[in-house]
Amino acid sequence: MRKRERENPCGVCGHYHKYEEGEVCGVCGHRMPAVSDKSAASSVQFSAFPSEILPEFLYLGSYDNAARAELLKTQGITRVLNTVPACQNLYKNSFTYHCLQYEQKLPFDDAIQFLEQCEKDRARVLVHCMSGKNRSPAIVMAYLMKSKGWKLAESYRWVKERRPSVELNQDVYQQLQAYEQKIFGSIENSGIGMPNLSPSSLGSFSFGFSRPNDPPIPVPVFSNIGGASIFSRPQLDIPPQEFTFGAGPTQKNTSDDASFKTNTNTPAVNDITMDGS
């Protein structure tokens, strides 16, 4: 479908096709079933659109959102704050880009200076990273703390309500805490439920063996203490017998010897004398 035949692109894939009527997109193959009920249609989440953090000014999204130029234009976005240099600035002729340097420590002041200039110029700006869950939300929260005077807890809840997929890692959250202390001089106990990554909370890979600091394992106690053990040996009243190594002297049998000598001198009854002739 040609662009001029339709004013707004598809809310899911960002391309131009009659998605309300179930028409398949000729670019990506996306298809949305036709929905006659308006309430059901309003419940559909349009993932192609970035999240609006401040009305008609500040938007938060992913690299996929930043790659849909026509969709950004329908929302009036003219400037893009790229928080990850690995993401290419695709439409330099259509948007004004500002790219932050990829560092372990987020350059909050540099980003806030650009956003303040956008607000002064009344220009709508998109802040994005690769997934829109960690770096770019942190930049937006830092801006809310600096420009609105909100504490970290309030800024976090504000952004989380408008973009539920936000997931800050522990390092980025600690940087926000340090920036909050820099602005307000103290860190407020936010209680926003950040994950506890202390070593005591992590599981131990002991493979069933006890560790040096583990308490001793109690030995099971059986009630039948006086009972006989299956490993006890019965007492046998067998006197010890003398055992001699090697061939010792044997006792002669005198009766057998006497009978043997008697028989040797007795001629055999059946012997027949042979004549030599």
What is residue 19's predicted lDDT score, i.e. its pLDDT? 59
User: What is the sign of the dihedral through the CA atoms of 51, 57, 62 and 65?
Assistant: positive
- Give the orientation angle of helix 152-162 with respect to helix 170-184, to 10 degrees: 130
Ranges of each domain in the chain? 1-48, 49-186
The answer to whether residue 87 is catalytic is: no
Distance (Å, rounded) from C-alpha 54 to C-alpha 196?
31
Q: What is the pLDDT of residue 194?
A: 55
pTM of the full structure: 0.56
10-residue stretch averages of pLDDT, the chain, 277 residues long: 52 60 60 46 58 96 92 95 90 94 87 97 96 96 96 96 95 96 79 47 46 58 55 62 59 50 50 51
Q: One of 10, 25, 118, 129 is an active-site residue; which one?
A: 129
For domain 49-186, say whether CATH 3.30.1330.40 is its number: no
* The pLDDT of residue 17: 60
Give pLDDT, residue 102: 74
Provide CB contacts within 8 A for 142, sequence distance 6+.
Answer: 106, 108, 111, 112, 155, 176, 179
